[in-house]
Amino acid sequence: MKKLARDVLQQLIDGSAEPVFVSRIDHPDWPVVLNNPAFASISGDSEVLNKPLADVVERLLGRELALEISETVRGRHETSIAVELGNREFLLVLKPIQSSSDGNEEYYAAFWRGGGGASHAGDDEIQQALLKAKRRIRDLTRDDPVTGLLNERSFREVLAHDWAVASREHSSLALVAFKLDDFPAYLDVFGRHAAESCQRRVAQAIRRCLRRASDVAARIDTADGDCLIVLSHSSDESSVNEFASKISAAVRELGLHHPRSRGARFVTVSFRTTVTSAGADDSTDEGFLQEVISSK
C-alpha cells in the first residue's frame, strides 16, 4: 500500500466510531495492516498490526467463527455475521477490497457494526436465520458429506490459492496425508455405515488438532482409497512431523475397536508429510499434492 494512500486511509478509519481493521490477504497469514482506536477498545489489544487475521479473530470470537471467517476470506466473499463480544452484539461485516494502485494487492476490511442494542428481537432472529441458511447452502457445496471436512474440489481451490500467495512471497507450505490403517478390513467387518461413522470420528479428531484457523483439512480420493489431508503454512519439517504424530495419537486415543487391524486392536492412521518452498524449481501445487498422496 503506497504511503500516501495508507496515511489517508488511516486518518479516515481513525476518525470512525465504528471498529474497523484491514488485512492484506495476498500475503501469507493475512496480516492486519490497519486498525483504529475503536477496534482496539473492543479487542483490548492495540498491538494487532502484522498479526495474522485468523489469530486475531480466533482470540476474540473463538475457533469455530475463525474457521468460518477464514473460509469466507479464501472464497473472496462479502458477508455479515452476527457476533457477541464483551456483552455487546455486533454485525461483523467482511468485505474484499481491491487496490487500484496495484492489482496484486488484495485486502479485506472488517467492520464491527452495531453494539447499541437498538435492534428488535424479531429482526435479530430473522437475521440469524438468514445467516444460518446462507452458511448451510455454502457448506453443502464446500464440505465432504461423510467427514464434514472440505471436499476435494474445495481443497484444491484452497491449495491453488495458498500456493499462489506462497509463491509470490517465497514462503513454504506443508501437507500431511493420513490413511486409515487396514480400513478395507474394517469395512468388511462393520459395513458402510459404521465405516463412514469411523471416518467422521477420525476427521473430527484431526480438526480438533489443527493449530491455526488458516490450517485446512479435507477428504480426497486417491488410487489407494480415501485420504484425509491437512494443509498448513509451515516451513519447519520437524514441527510438521510432530504435528502429524499428535494427530495420529489423538486418533488412537479414540479407542475405536478394529478386530482385524494388523498393528493394533484399535483404529489407527499412518501419515506422510512434505514441506516445500512454493514455486521453487518449477514446482506446482498439483505436484506438491501428488508427492504426499502417491504410494511409494
Percent of the chain with pLDDT over 70: 83
Q: Which long-range contacts (CB under 8 A, 24 or more apart) does 136-143 make?
A: 138/71, 142/71
Q: Which domain holds residue 26?
A: 3-140
Is 121 a domain residue?
Answer: yes
pLDDT of residue 118: 44
pTM for this structure?
0.68
Distance of CA 84 to the CA centre of its chain: 21
More confident residue, 271 or 166: 271
Phi-psi category of residue 282: left, alpha or beta, with phi > 0 → left and psi -120 to 50 → alpha: left
- Same domain for 217 and 171: yes
Tens digits of residue pLDDT in 137-165: 455 567 888 998 999 988 998 898 888 88
DSSP 51: S
- The residues that bridge with 218 in the sheet, in sequence order, are 150, 229
Is 190 a domain residue?
Answer: yes
- Same domain for 67 and 123: yes
Average pLDDT over residues 178-190: 94
Q: What rounded mean pLDDT belongs to the chain?
A: 82
Q: At residue 186, does pLDDT exceed 60? A: yes
pLDDT of residue 176: 96
- Same domain for 164 and 132: no
Q: At residue 119, does pLDDT exceed 70? A: no
CATH number where 180 lies: 3.30.70.270
- Same domain for 195 and 245: yes
**Burial of 150 from C-beta contacts in 10 A (0-12 / 13-18 / 19+):** buried
Is 167 a domain residue?
Answer: yes
SS3 call for 102: coil
Looking at the structure of the chain, the number of domains it has is 2
- Same domain for 178 and 108: no
Of 110, 140, 170, which marks where a domain is finished? 140
- The residues that bridge with 31 in the sheet, in sequence order, are 52
pLDDT of residue 250: 96
Instruction: List, in order, residues 6 or more apart from 21 with CB less than 8 Å away.
Output: 32, 34, 35, 36, 39, 48, 56, 109, 110
More confident residue, 279 or 21: 21
